[in-house]
Amino acid sequence: MRPTTFLDNPLFTALAARSIRENGTPALPFGTGRTSPVAADDVAQVVATILRDPREHTGKVYELTGPRALGMTEVAQEFSKALGRTVTYRDVPLQRWRTEVLANAGLPQHTEQHIATMAQLHRANRYDRATTDVERITGKRPLTVEEFVAVRKDFYLG
C-alpha cells in the first residue's frame, strides 16, 4: 500500500481548522503544488478487502489516492462547499509557517519534522497523482475533500 497524503493528517485537519476558524484561510506552504489526499477510512477499506482474499494481490503495489488531484485553491473550494462559508487558500513561506504555525501546534518533534517534510513535498508537487486503485479494489469511490470535511463540519468550525 502506498497511500498519498492522508486527509486525516494535521495539515488538512487540526492546522487547517485553526486557520479557517481564525481567518477563513487554510494557510499552508504548498505553493501551486497539487495533491490527492486520501481518507484513512478508504485505505482501511482497501486493506480489509485485500486481507479477505489476498491471493490475487500478492506482489502488487497499490497507489491509494483521493478521487482527483487538486491545487490548494481547489481544496479551499471543497472546504467552502462543505462548510457553507468562503474559504480561500493562502500560501505562506515554509520557514515562516514552520515557526509561526507548526512550532505552535503542540505536536511531538518527530511529527512536526514529518509534517514539515510533507509540506515541502507538496510544494515540490510530489503528491500530484490520482489513481483508481481505491475504487477498483473496494468497489466504492474514495471520499472527496468536500465529503471528508462535511462530516466533520463542527470540528472545522469549532
**pLDDT the model gives residue 106:** 87
Residue 137 pLDDT > 90, yes or no?
yes
pLDDT more than 70, % of the chain? 100
Mean pLDDT value of segment 3-7: 95
The set of cell numbers assigned to 16 is 487547517
In this prediction the pTM is 0.92
Mean pLDDT value of segment 46-67: 96
| Per-residue pLDDT reduced to its tens digit, 77-128 | 999 999 999 999 999 999 999 998 888 888 899 999 999 999 999 999 999 9
Residue 28's DSSP bridge partners are: 91
Residue 3 pLDDT > 90, yes or no?
yes
Across 8-141, the runs of DSSP E, i.e. the strands, are: 27-28, 34-35, 63-64, 70-71, 90-91
**pLDDT the model gives residue 104:** 87
